[in-house]
Amino acid sequence: MERKYQYKEMLESMRGTYGEFSKNYGFNWKEFVMGIPTPLFLVTTYKSNGQPNATMQSWACFTSANHGGGYYAILSSVNKQGHLCQSLHEKKAAVLNFMSPDLYEACMQTIRNNQFEADEITASGLTAEKASWVEAPMVAECFMNLECRYMWEKEIVPGDDHVMVCMEVIGGHIERDYLENRFGGKGVLYNIHYPMNPENVKEKGCDYTARLTEANQSYEY
Ligand SMILES: Cc1cc2nc3c(=O)[nH]c(=O)nc-3n(C[C@H](O)[C@H](O)[C@H](O)COP(=O)(O)O)c2cc1C
C-alpha cells in the first residue's frame, strides 16, 4: 500500500458532501482534508452606533516583524460584509479575546446575537469592558485580551469577498493561570474545521476545538 495518499483535485468520494457544497460559504475542500488547526479567538470592536461587536475568528496567525520592533496579528480572511470589517475601517482598533473551553458556547452565541443594534457581548451572557489603550471593548471572562491597532488589509486574490487584515498588538491583559501553564489548563484553543477523510467519507461531520499538549523541548539555536 502507498504510504501517502495524494490529493490535488477533490475526490469523487466527497461529491455531494459538505466538503463540496460548503464552497458556497467560501470554504475549500482542502481545508477539511488537510485539517491544519488555526487559533480561535473572539474579536471585539465598537460599531458606529457605539454598541460592542463580537466576531468569532480562526483563520489567523501571529508574527514578530519590523526587525523585532513589533508583534502582529494577521487575520487571514475577514468577511467584507460583516460588522468586524466595517468597524475596523471606522475605529482602526480591535481586541482579540482568547477563551477557555467553558466559554466557547457563550462566544458562539455572539453569532446568533449579530444584530447591528445589539450589544453582542452582553446579549451573549459575557461582560464588556473598555480596553485600556485602543477604542474597543473587551471580554472580561476571556483569559487573554490583546489590544490591537489596524494597520492594513489586502485581498488574497483580487476581487475576493474576504480580506487579510494586519493588526499590531499594542499590549495584552493576561491571567496568571495562562502564564503559568499553557498546556492543558487555560491555553489557546485551536479550531479544526470539519475534518474529512476522503478515503472514508462519513455522512456527517463536525468542527472541533482542541488545545495543545507538549511534544518537544528545544533551546535557543
Ligand atoms: C469557529 C469559527 C471561526 C470563524 N472564523 C472566521 C474567520 O476567520 N473569518 C470570518 O470572516 N468569519 C469567521 N467566522 C464566522 C463569523 O464569526 C460570523 O460570520 C460572525 O457572525 C460575523 O460577525 P460580524 O458580522 O459581527 O463580524 C467563524 C465562525 C466560527 C464559528
Q: Are residues 15 and 96 in the same domain?
A: no
Q: Are residues 113 and 19 in the same domain?
A: no
Residue 161 forms part of a structural domain: yes
**Substitution site in 25, 42, 46, 55 for ligand 1 pocket (most atoms within 8 Å of beta carbon):** 55
What per-residue confidence (pLDDT) applies to 173? Answer: 98
What is the DSSP secondary structure assignment for residue 32, as one 8-state letter?
A: H
* % of the chain beyond a pLDDT of 70: 100
Residue 220 forms part of a structural domain: no
Written as nine digits, the cell of 81 is 460584509
Written as nine digits, the cell of 107 is 462566544
Distance from Cα 34 to the centre of ligand 1, integer Å: 20
Distance from Cα 59 to the centre of ligand 1, integer Å: 9
d(CA 5, CA 19): 18
Neighbours of 143 (CB within 10 A): 21
Q: Are residues 7 and 86 in the same domain?
A: no
Written as nine digits, the cell of 209 is 476545538
State which residues form the domain around 205: 1-35+193-210
What per-residue confidence (pLDDT) applies to 184? Answer: 79
| Burial class of residue 25 in the structure, from the number of CB atoms within 10 Å of its CB (0-12 exposed, 13-18 middle, 19+ buried) | exposed
Tens of pLDDT, residue by residue over 72-90, are 999 999 999 999 999 999 9
Residue 73's CATH number: 2.30.110.10
What per-residue confidence (pLDDT) applies to 95? Answer: 99
Distance from Cα 8 to the centre of ligand 1, integer Å: 27
Distance from Cα 183 to the centre of ligand 1, integer Å: 26
Tens of pLDDT, residue by residue over 106-126, are 999 999 999 999 999 999 999
Q: Return the ligand 1 atom nearest residue 111 CA.
A: 21
Task: Give the pairing type, strands 208-210 and 190-192.
Answer: antiparallel
Tens of pLDDT, residue by residue over 30-72, are 999 999 999 999 999 999 999 999 999 999 999 999 999 999 9
Compute CA distances 179 → 138, 144, 174, 185, whole Å. Answer: 19, 10, 7, 10
Q: Return the ligand 1 atom nearest residue 53 CA.
A: 26
- What residues line ligand 1, using a CB cutoff of 6 Å? 40, 53, 55-59, 77-79, 82-84, 111, 114, 162, 191
User: What confidence tier does 221 reach under pLDDT thresholds 50, 70, 90?
Assistant: confident
Q: Are residues 70 and 99 in the same domain?
A: yes
What per-residue confidence (pLDDT) applies to 109? Answer: 98
Distance from Cα 56 to the centre of ligand 1, integer Å: 4
What per-residue confidence (pLDDT) applies to 187? Answer: 94
Neighbours of 198 (CB within 10 A): 17
Q: Are residues 87 and 120 in the same domain?
A: yes
Residue 179 forms part of a structural domain: no
What per-residue confidence (pLDDT) applies to 110? Answer: 98
Residue 188 forms part of a structural domain: no
Q: Are residues 81 and 124 in the same domain?
A: yes
Q: Are residues 203 and 151 in the same domain?
A: no
| Amino acid code (one letter) for 121 | I
pLDDT at residue 185 is higher than 90: no
Q: Are residues 105 and 24 in the same domain?
A: no
Residue 199 forms part of a structural domain: yes
Residue 216 forms part of a structural domain: no
Distance from Cα 96 to the centre of ligand 1, integer Å: 13
Q: How many domains does the chain have?
A: 2
Average model confidence (pLDDT) for the chain? Answer: 97
pLDDT at residue 1 is higher than 80: no
Tens of pLDDT, residue by residue over 137-184, are 999 999 999 999 999 999 999 999 999 999 999 999 999 999 999 997
